[in-house]
Structure 1
Amino acid sequence: MSLTITELDIAFGQLPVLEKMNLQVNNDEFVAILGPSGSGKSTLLQLIGGLLTPDNGMIQLNGESINGKKGLISYMPQHPSLFPWRTVLENVVLAAEIKGKPEYEEAKRLLEKAGLAEFENSYPNELSGGMKQRVAFIRALLSKQSLLCLDEPFSALDEFTRIKMQNWLLSIWEENRKSILFITHSIEEAMFLADRIYVLSKRPAHVKAEITVPFSRPRNERLLETNEFFHLKKQIFQHMKEDIADDD
């Protein structure tokens, strides 16, 4: 599933948020978006998901306009948003259940791969933060849409759990290979996960840099200690630092 965003503009009243936004997610590609707080990253996902309609520009999936259309992507928010009265298994099949075809066997297989098989009949309040995020991601996978939009899903986790979750996400993605658009504040996270990175400017946001990540797959945390990783991180930091300096 390919996503193409062309010359996208949106403003809230007199406040311009996105301006001439252009980006591409190719089939089976993992793309990350970095940008300063308040630059409109979450607004971009709401536009892609059809919750908002752009003032100008075009959002296309596989060449077809989806401006203002809902139900065509899978979305994972910053917080797991699990229903407390449903078990883990009931939560992960929810999207498929809405369409009338809950796939319990596939859900159980993914829960086992995520190390959650013994918790399928547990409730969200019995899970750790990392476990809840795994449940939310499996729910997104089972929705069957080929484009996944992830909005800082690991931002609330401690560093050790976050690295563990990043490795787990990559292992699941390598197996399923859907197109992913991943929003993060972490340069290291973007570099570790993505094939390409878009760096956004401050508001009104536009793409100020597009970076191809040169590291081969599969990846592991040893990559974080290499000189190549450090030099790319420094390059990306310079792009982001320009906007911080402009605000001083």
Structure 2
Amino acid sequence: MKALEVQHISKSFGEAFVLNDLNFSVKEGEFVSILGPSGSGKSTLFHLIGGLITPDGGNFLINGENVTNQKGKISYMPQSPSLFPWRTILKNVTLAAEIVGENKETEAIHMLERAGLKGYEHVYPHQLSGGMKQRVAFVRSLLSPQSIICLDEPFSALDEFTRLDMQTWLMDLWQEQQKAILFVTHNIDEAIFLSDRVIVLSSKPATVKKEFVIPFSRPRLPNLLLEEKFLSLKKQIYSELSGSL
């Protein structure tokens, strides 16, 4: 079943035409990454899916339900962790479940431990490092009741080795949860390493230029990034992406 369907979405801001007849879908439990030139409307797309802004045309369906212009239908993680400073780490990650009347404290404690945050459940965000805050934000997204998670360049500020560590950690937790993820990134290696499919957008007004099915089995190990098949696929995607610039 399709967790998310993006149907003929178009969007402009004044005379700036950003998205043009955008069409793609994300299946249940699938990890899909979006690559595109800077300014191609990737973050705008997330704001549209989340109901923060209104498309000029087209619809969004989640599990077959038309959710166009509706808020609260996705779990959205922006580039910064955006934690509430007055809530403890445990209270931050269980907030979405709390809003809908669910008690996920036991599951949250387990996931925080898996995230290397055992013993930090009752501290506050200002007591954590940047990387730790990012892990908390991921756990919060995974614990949210929504069936699809939208991640907007969450590793962009990290150095190469920390980024790879976070990617591996995210895959481990995601494979336990198997929620649908739509992931925006500028990093081709990251997109291939994490994804089941990679969608390349054209320059704006953005439309889907090409989709790549990622052939590598899971679990994936870091040495995959150096294998010949990985590098060959990276060249193909780079060729499509550079042609959009």
Give the 5 Å matches for 1:21-100: 21-100=22-101
Q: Aligned partners of 1:104, 1:10: CA distance in 2, in Å? A: 40
Letter in 1 for 2:217: S
- Contact (CA 8 Å) 2:142, 2:174: kept in 1 or not? no
CA offsets, 1:34-83, max 9 Å, x none? 01111100110111111112111121112221110111111111100011
In structure 1, the gaps of 5 or more residues are: none
CA RMSD of aligned residues (A): 1.1
Give the 5 Å matches for 1:91-240: 91-240=92-241
Deviation at 1:169, TM superposition (A): 0.4
- Contact (CA 8 Å) 2:84, 2:92: kept in 1 or not? yes
Q: Aligned partners of 1:100, 1:60: CA distance in 2, in Å? A: 25
Superposition TM-score, scaled by structure 1 size: 0.96
Q: Aligned partners of 1:206, 1:3: CA distance in 2, in Å? A: 17
Q: Aligned partners of 1:191, 1:151: CA distance in 2, in Å? A: 16
Q: Aligned partners of 1:43, 1:231: CA distance in 2, in Å? A: 31
Q: Aligned partners of 1:64, 1:121: CA distance in 2, in Å? A: 38
Q: Aligned partners of 1:51, 1:59: CA distance in 2, in Å? A: 13
Letter in 2 for 1:37: S
- Contact (CA 8 Å) 2:115, 2:169: kept in 1 or not? yes
Q: Aligned partners of 1:147, 1:243: CA distance in 2, in Å? A: 28
Identity within the alignment, %? 58
- Contact (CA 8 Å) 2:192, 2:214: kept in 1 or not? yes
- Contact (CA 8 Å) 2:201, 2:208: kept in 1 or not? yes
Deviation at 1:238, TM superposition (A): 0.5
Letter in 1 for 2:214: V
Deviation at 1:100, TM superposition (A): 3.1
Deviating beyond 3 angstroms after TM superposition, the runs of 4 or more aligned structure 1 residues are: none
CA offsets, 1:87-109, max 9 Å, x none? 21111111122223342111101
- Contact (CA 8 Å) 1:129, 1:157: kept in 2 or not? no
| Other structure's SS at 1:180 match | strand
Deviation at 1:27, TM superposition (A): 1.1
Superposition TM-score, scaled by structure 2 size: 0.97
- Contact (CA 8 Å) 2:76, 2:141: kept in 1 or not? yes
Letter in 2 for 1:201: S
